[in-house]
Structure 1
C-alpha cells in the first residue's frame, strides 16, 4: 500500500511538471549556442543578454533590460528570424548609380567624440570614397561615436537608440557600417553595443566567431588611441637574418585577472614560464581593489614582472603570446606584428582581424586555450625556414593593413567594395601578396598580369605550367586564369610607349625635342610616341614635326595642368611608359638600355636624372638636392621608364589637393610620382648609366630659359616635399647607391662585342 502511494505521488508530480512546462509555467534557459542552433543562424550582437545561475540567457520579449539607457531595447527588435547577409540586408541599387561612395552623418551639436573616432572619420573624408552628398552614397557612417560602448567609460554616448533612429538616412541601419572597439561592461563584457544596430554592418574588434556574420560584418584590430592616423611606422624586421631565432623563444607581459572572464588562461601562464627562453609574466597589481582578490602568488609574480622591460622582450623574441583578456582581442596582437614577433594567439572563438581577406596561417600560430601546456613544444618544433617566412608576413601585413588608422579604415571599406562589386573584386592572392590589396585597385584590372607587382609570381606559375605542358598533363589544377589558355606567352610586354611632355612652342627644327622624337622613334622597342601638348599655343602644322617610322600621336592637354602627362590614356597599350621632358637629351641606345633594365624591375622607376632628399635638422623639415653624389632617392620622370599602372594610381588614388598644388606651381609632378611609387613598392628607384653632363647639356641646348636656373625652383620643390610627406604621413622615399651600367661598359675589348656600343661615345 505504501509503495502504491509513493508511485501515485511521483506520477502526479511528473504530470504537474509536464503541464507547467507545456503551458509556459517553466522556461528552460538557453545558452547562446543553443539559441543560435534553434533559430538556424548566428546570434546577433544587437540582442541583450544576462547571466542567470551560470547560464547566459536573453531577456524575454516583455522584460526590460535595466542596463539600457532608454530602457526600451527588446529581444525581438534585435534578433531577426535569419542573420543578415549582403543579399538580404544591403541595398545594392544605391551603389549602381554613383559607384562606391561613403557618406558621414553630420556630427550632432554638443555630442562628445573620441580622438580615435575623429581619426576614423577623417580617414574616410580624406579617401577617394567620400561624398558630402547623401543622395550619392552607397554606404553610410554614423557621426556619433560608437567606438567605446562600455557603460563605465567616459567616452560612452548615452541614448544612442533615440539619436540613431532620428537620422533621416538611418533606414533601420541598411547600408550602414558601425565601427566599434569596446562593447559590454564589467563583469560580463558581452558583445552588446547597447542599442539596436538593425540591418547595419559591424566593423568590430574582439568579435567572436559565434556572433560574427560572415561576408557581412568585418573583424577589425583593437588599436590604441595613440595609433597614428596616417603614415605609420615600418616594421622592425630590417634584414632577413638567418637563423631567425632571437634571444627569447616565447614571451608575454601583462595583467593577471584573478577572477572573472579571461582569468583562466592568464592564471595558468606560470606553469609554462621557465625564466630562460620562455618568459611569461603577469601582475595582479591593477584595478582599485586588487588587494581584495590577492592570492599567494601575487607578490612573487609582481616581483618577477618588474625585472623585465616589455619593449626589450618584444623586439628580442621569436614568438609572442597573445592570450585573451577581458575581451577576445588584445593590443598585443598589433604590437607583435610590428615587432616581427610571430603572434601565438590563445583566444578561442576570436574572429581574427580582416579574416575575410588575410590568410593568418602565414603570419601567426593559432593556439587553443585548452592546450596551453603544449605551446612551448609546438613553437620549438617549427622549422627555421618557416619562422623566417612567418616573420616576413608579419611585416607585410603590418605595413599593408594595420600600421595606421588610415590603413585599417581603407581596408574595411575596400572589403565592402569587393562585396558590392563582385565582378571586380580582388583575389586572395592580391590581398596576401606584396604590396597588398590597397595598392591593386580592382577598377583598373582584376588580372594579375596587368599590375607591375606580380610579374615574379606569374613567372613562377608559368614555369610550373610549362612543366605540366611538357609532361602532357595540361593545366595545373590549382591555377585559375581569367584570360586565354593556362600556357600563355610573355609576362611582360616587349615594347614601350613614349610619352613626351611639351610646354614650349615649336619654333625651330634644331630644338632638343625634335632630336628626341627622332631618337626615340628609332628604337626597336618603341611601340608608339605620344606627345602631350601643354603649351597653350596652337598646335604646329603637321609638316613641322619630324618624319619618323612611327606615327606621332598628339594629345592636347589643359594649359598649365602638368598632371595631364600622367593621365591613364586608353591609347597606351604597352605596360611600359617612357616618360620624357621636351628638353631631355637621350640617344636611341640609352633609351633601349633603360627599357631593358626596367624589364627586370617593372615595379620601379628606372631612368637617368637622379635626385635626393635629406632631413634638415636646423629647419626641421625635408630638403631637396640635385648634387651629384653616390646616393639618390628619386629618378625624375623627365627621362625614365615606369609601369603605366602608376598613371592610373596617380590620377585616381592621390587626392585632388596634391595634384592641384602641382598644377598651380607647374612643378613637382615628378617628385609626387616618386613618392607614390616608393610608397607602394617600399623600394628605391633604379638609376642607369651615370650621365654627369645631363643637366648642363640640357641647359645649353634648350631654346628657352631653363627652369633649373630659376632660384625659386628648388625652394618650391622643398615645399612640395614637405607637403607630400605630410599627406603620406611619412617619408616614403628610400635611398639607394646602386647604379646599373651596360654590360662590358668601358672594358678593353673589341667594340663589336659590346651590346650597347654608342653609349661609350657620348
Structure 2
C-alpha cells in the first residue's frame, strides 16, 4: 500500500524524518526501506540499525515496489525536494508528501490536493492510518490525476519548459490567462490556448463540467478540387442533402480547384445559406484553417464525392452532440504495428476495429481547426500540402493526442466504400499504390513527431435505436438509413 526505498541520513539535514521511518514500517502493507550504506565513510557513522536496515533494503526491487503500490512516500532528504516525487507520478503511485515547506512544482497553477496526499513531518506516525482511511473512489481519482499531470506537464523536458513559459505568459497577460479548471483537467493548459479564447464554453472539453451543450447546429465545409462541369456531379447532390438537415446552419464550399469560381447561379438553391470561398494557396490544409465565417461549434467536414443522405447527416450530428470532443463520422480506418518492418502500418480493411475516422465525412469541434493550424509544426503541414494527402490522418493524430480517446464511428456504410471506388475524381487516388504508400509514410512521420502513437483502437459503433430490428419502419426515427 505505502512504500519508500532510499537513503537514511544518520546526521545533519533531513536525518530526523528518514531516521524515524522504521517506526511505521511493518513489512506488510507499509514497506519503508532505508540504507545507511552510502558515502565513502558510511561505516564510520553507522549505528546499531544499519546492518539490519541494509539487509532488508536489499530484498526489494525499487521499480517493482513503485509500480505495484498505491501510495509512495516522498520524505525530504538533504533538500526539501526529491526526484521521487516525479517517479511516483510517472508510476501512477499517489505521492505522500513529508517535506514541510516544499513548494511543489507548478503549484501556482496545479491543485496538488487532487493528486497527492500532503502530510506533516511532525505527524509521521499518523500517515499509515491516514492513507488507509482514503476511500477507493478517492484513490482512483488521485491516481488518475497523477497520470494526467505527468502526461500533461512532466513527462519530457520539452513539456516542463513549455509549461514554465505558458505560466509566465499567464502572469504577464493576466486578462487572457487560463483558468484553474483548464490547467487541472483534461486536456490541460498546453492544449487550451488562450489566444483562441479564455471562455471555457468555447472549447470542446468542458460542456459536461459546465452543464452546457454545444450550439445545436453545424457548419458544413465541402472541399472541392474538381471543376464544376455538370449539375449531376455528386457534389451537387451532397450539397442539397446536407443543406436540408434540420441542424445545418450554413454550407461553405472550399474551392481548391485551379479553375475559376463558378457563377453564383450554378449552385443549387437551398434552405441553408451557401457560401463559396477560395482555398488559401489551393493547398489541402486550407480545409482545416480556423475560418471566422464558421459560426457554430461543430464542423461537418466533407469531400466533394462523399455520398450522404440528410438522415445520415442528422444522425451523425446527434451522436456528435454526446461526444463533442471527438471526431464522429462514417469512413473508418485503422493502424497497426508491423513487427517485420518495425514500423507503423495503415489499413483500410473493413473490420470491427478502427482508430481513425476520415474527415471526408466527419463532424468535430471547430477548435481543432485552430489547434491544427497553430499547434502542429509547419514541417508536418508542409509535408501534407506537398503530397496533397494525409491531412485526415494528421487531424486524427491531433485529436487523439489531445483527448486520449478514440474517434466514434457511426452506422456502417458499405456503400461509402463502393461509391468512392466508383467515382472518377478520386478513384485513382484510392486505388493508387503510391497514395497508400504515402499514408504509411505519414503514419510513421507523425508518430515520430508526437513521440508516441496517439491513435487508440475502438470497436464502438453508434447505431440508431431499433437499427436492423425486425419492427415496423414507422417506429424508427432514422428509418431512411436502412433503406440506403
Alignment partner, residue 179 of structure 2: 427
CA distance in 2, matches of 1:325, 1:694: 63
Alignment partner, residue 365 of structure 1: 117
1:593 aligns with 2:315: yes
Counterparts of 1:499-538 in structure 2, within 5 Å, are: 499-538=221-260
CA distance in 2, matches of 1:327, 1:719: 48
Q: 1:416 aligns with which of 163, 168, 178?
A: 168
Residue pair 1:560, 1:666 contacting (<8 A) in 2 also: no
Offset, 1:323: 0.6
1:315 aligns with 2:67: yes
Residue pair 2:219, 2:300 contacting (<8 A) in 1 also: yes
Alignment partner, residue 378 of structure 1: 130
Counterparts of 1:259-278 in structure 2, within 5 Å, are: 259-278=11-30
Runs of 4+ in 1 over 4 A off after TM superposition: none
Offset, 1:610: 0.3
Alignment partner, residue 693 of structure 1: 415
Q: 1:663 aligns with which of 360, 385, 388?
A: 385
Residue pair 1:511, 1:701 contacting (<8 A) in 2 also: no
Q: 2:83 aligns with which of 290, 312, 331?
A: 331
CA distance in 2, matches of 1:494, 1:704: 32
SS class of match (1:670): helix
Residue pair 2:305, 2:420 contacting (<8 A) in 1 also: yes
The structure with the larger Rg is 1
CA distance in 1, matches of 2:426, 2:325: 34
Offset, 1:633: 0.3
Offset, 1:617: 0.8
Q: How many residue pairs get matched?
A: 484
1:443 aligns with 2:180: no
Distance change >3 Å, CA 703–CA 306, structure 1 → 2:
closer
Offset, 1:376: 1.2
Offset, 1:704: 5.5
Offset, 1:654: 0.8
Q: C-alpha offsets along residues 395-442 of structure 1, whole Å, 9 cap, x if unaligned? A: 221121111222211111111111111111011111112111111111
Offset, 1:693: 2.4
SS class of match (1:437): coil
Alignment partner, residue 359 of structure 2: 637
Offset, 1:703: 4.4
CA distance in 1, matches of 2:428, 2:252: 23
Alignment partner, residue 93 of structure 1: none
Offset, 1:502: 0.7
Q: 2:405 aligns with which of 680, 683, 691?
A: 683
CA distance in 2, matches of 1:273, 1:703: 72
Offset, 1:598: 0.2
Offset, 1:719: 0.7
Counterparts of 1:393-412 in structure 2, within 5 Å, are: 393-412=145-164
Q: 2:342 aligns with which of 599, 611, 620?
A: 620
Q: C-alpha offsets along residues 655-676 of structure 1, whole Å, 9 cap, x if unaligned? A: 1111111101100000000000
- Of residues 583-592 and 396-405 in structure 1, the stretch that sits farther from structure 2 once superposed is 396-405
CA distance in 1, matches of 2:428, 2:55: 70
Alignment partner, residue 231 of structure 1: none
SS class of match (2:87): helix
CA distance in 2, matches of 1:593, 1:546: 24
1:350 aligns with 2:96: no
Q: 2:273 aligns with which of 529, 540, 551?
A: 551
Residue pair 1:594, 1:641 contacting (<8 A) in 2 also: yes
CA distance in 2, matches of 1:703, 1:492: 35
Offset, 1:604: 0.2
CA distance in 2, matches of 1:329, 1:707: 57
CA distance in 2, matches of 1:310, 1:526: 58
Residue pair 2:115, 2:146 contacting (<8 A) in 1 also: yes
Residue pair 1:583, 1:702 contacting (<8 A) in 2 also: no
Counterparts of 1:478-517 in structure 2, within 5 Å, are: 491-517=213-239
Q: TM-score, normalised by structure 1?
A: 0.63
Alignment partner, residue 449 of structure 2: 727
Alignment partner, residue 217 of structure 1: none
Offset, 1:491: 2.6
CA distance in 1, matches of 2:93, 2:110: 18
CA distance in 2, matches of 1:381, 1:449: 37
CA distance in 1, matches of 2:16, 2:273: 75
CA distance in 2, matches of 1:310, 1:726: 31
Offset, 1:385: 2.3
CA distance in 1, matches of 2:462, 2:62: 44
Residue pair 1:497, 1:578 contacting (<8 A) in 2 also: yes
Offset, 1:577: 0.3
Alignment partner, residue 294 of structure 1: 46
Counterparts of 1:470-485 in structure 2, within 5 Å, are: none
Residue pair 2:466, 2:476 contacting (<8 A) in 1 also: yes
Counterparts of 1:75-474 in structure 2, within 5 Å, are: 249-459=1-211
SS class of match (2:280): coil
CA distance in 2, matches of 1:277, 1:629: 46
Offset, 1:340: 1.9
CA distance in 2, matches of 1:592, 1:320: 50
Task: With a CA cutoff of 8 Å and minimum separation of 6, indicate the structure with the bigger relative contact order.
Answer: 2
Gaps of 5+ in 2: none
